[in-house]
Structure 1
């Protein structure tokens, strides 16, 4: 079975082709990705209308590229999968519309996929795929969550952010330091030159007794510190960046270890854009090694939004029988879910 996946939830257009034989893990045959970062830089963030228009321009050429690389034709595709949510409504509608039009033209079933489930299952595309059950740390865009994962579609929410997510804390703090867009990667790169102990910044909810997160207070502390530095901010910026990164990483690390201890599980999956952070990976790897816990990540190039994770999630749903075949039908009316809690998935 060949599954074509389309991702268009925000500012990356991704298309991928995955093969599933119904037994072993699905295999990624080809994928292509176009990032809109250069277009949005001038605005300091993602402009939804521009994002939607660019998805329209990119998705068909990317699909052609993917099929050519895999040496397959669209007629070979068995299921067309797309990101149904969460994300920007207009951007989601582009991917959903193209997927359903392709399905109708080819007389093939379509399947809407949860964006976060795509991230959650993306480590199964790596050379070292995990095994169920595991604790998952999802750190993608506006989402920071800890989940217990017992199988495809079997997710238990352990904790989540009550305000800003980790990715937002990176981006907003970077903006306060004048680092521009996209802020998170810029802050992390600058942090390599700084002292993570230079400034005492808060670790919100670190000792809350639960697995929830909060990063809004950290952003406020960064703003206060930047104002205090005044004209000295430029020369101390690397130290402030390093201290900010250290605060975010410590909270993610400690909460993840607590989740592992409380569930008794010995396997951790880290997925989403923040999962590419070098400091976070180093800290998690060292701490989990001490506790004989296996840690799994997506390949670095698959940490951000991409079509491969959507095709993979669809393939694993179809393979597992968790509602996939029932949902993948040749019905081509569609809707999207800009807000769609992962816990709602059956």
Structure 2
């Protein structure tokens, strides 16, 4: 019955979690509001705030789980990918905690952990399954054959879907973080009000740079005609952008599922918290008779629970690393 302490610090959330025998007993997330003034994450500030948050987050995770530090069997941590300074804080803490208590270390790939978040719930997808992983920096369709046997069959060639949403929010003058505000406004708008182009990329790869440019020119041209265009139509704009991004993602996912003959379809990553995308996948799976798996909201964005569950399965396989381990900002997916 392994007891895993997990640390996540890849971007601007400092998170700690405790997992006992594959059950998540706590998941503490400390957000960083300092970046709101800059309209995006400032890496140097993020790493400094991680230093302030990491000890209290771990203490609270242990308290919430009612687990003593002497009961910990291993320490799992995000090794990458992510912001190097932010990763360094989490990796350093994990190494120090493990060294002080003579515990094994488990390094976790952040993107693989997003996928393995589906194994926190009671209803789990069966291997093999397809997972659409969508975040601010990544957009991937992954064929998941086993816990750590995963193959990327499609990915973004340039910008990620989450980045397209963030860029749209900036164009519209929405405060950071803009993704949740796009979602909120979209619920009040008409998703068919405006038509945005769908990139014609071969295979299962994605591209969102052209869509970002199309949105920019659309807003520019309409504001030139009517300075109040954004304020008068923000709900319809958000709903239309959200629908186009969702259809780009789901059309590729549908084709992949049909070609590979897979019926268990999963959604992961920060953008999987988007209401339009979640509902779109549910409707697609209902139409095709597929099984749909979407994590709870708290496990969609960056969190240590997904690192903990990934650490649990690595612990069972005896996959540990030494004290010479270092963070990897561009950690390969297969690592």
CA distance in 1 between partners of 2:306 and 2:174 (Å)? 30
Aligned match for 2:261, one of 264, 274, 281: 264
| Alignment map for 1:157-168 (pairs within 5 Å) | 157-168=152-163
Aligned match for 1:210, one of 186, 203, 212: 203
**Residue of structure 2 equivalent to 1:274:** 271
In the alignment of these two chains, the number of paired residues is 330
Whether the aligned pair in 1 keeps the contact of 2:79 and 2:331 (CA below 8 Å) is no
Residues 1:227 and 2:220 aligned together:
yes
Kindly state the Cα deviation for residue 127 of structure 1 after the two structures are TM-superposed. 3.7
For 1:129, what is the secondary structure of its paired residue? coil
Residues 1:35 and 2:31 aligned together:
yes
| Alignment map for 1:35-54 (pairs within 5 Å) | 35-36=31-32, 38-54=33-49
Aligned match for 1:126, one of 121, 124, 128: 121
**Residue of structure 2 equivalent to 1:18:** 19
TM-score, structure 1 as length reference: 0.93
CA distance in 2 between partners of 1:227 and 1:127 (Å)? 48
CA distance in 2 between partners of 1:72 and 1:341 (Å)? 33
Residues 1:111 and 2:102 aligned together:
no
| Alignment map for 1:267-346 (pairs within 5 Å) | 267-319=264-316, 321=317, 325-326=318-319, 328-329=320-321, 331-342=322-333, 344-345=334-335
1:78-102 per-position Cα deviation (integer Å, ceiling 9, x unaligned): 1001100000000000000000000
1:177-198 per-position Cα deviation (integer Å, ceiling 9, x unaligned): 1112111111111111222111
**Residue of structure 2 equivalent to 1:71:** 66
1:299-345 per-position Cα deviation (integer Å, ceiling 9, x unaligned): 111110001000111111222x2xxx24x15x322211101231x33
Residues 1:99 and 2:94 aligned together:
yes
TM-score, structure 2 as length reference: 0.96
Unmatched 5+ residue regions in structure 2?
none
For 1:203, what is the secondary structure of its paired residue? coil
Kindly state the Cα deviation for residue 281 of structure 1 after the two structures are TM-superposed. 1.4
For 2:92, what is the secondary structure of its paired residue? helix
CA distance in 2 between partners of 1:306 and 1:233 (Å)? 34
1:7-48 per-position Cα deviation (integer Å, ceiling 9, x unaligned): 00001011001112xxxxx11111211111x21100100011
**Residue of structure 2 equivalent to 1:176:** 171
Unmatched 5+ residue regions in structure 1?
21-25
CA distance in 1 between partners of 2:296 and 2:120 (Å)? 8
For 2:116, what is the secondary structure of its paired residue? helix
For 1:282, what is the secondary structure of its paired residue? helix
RMSD: 1.1
CA distance in 1 between partners of 2:74 and 2:84 (Å)? 23
4+ residue runs over 6 A deviation: none
**Residue of structure 2 equivalent to 1:83:** 78
CA distance in 2 between partners of 1:335 and 1:286 (Å)? 42
Whether the aligned pair in 2 keeps the contact of 1:126 and 1:297 (CA below 8 Å) is no
**Residue of structure 2 equivalent to 1:189:** 184
Whether the aligned pair in 2 keeps the contact of 1:144 and 1:161 (CA below 8 Å) is yes
Whether the aligned pair in 1 keeps the contact of 2:30 and 2:53 (CA below 8 Å) is yes
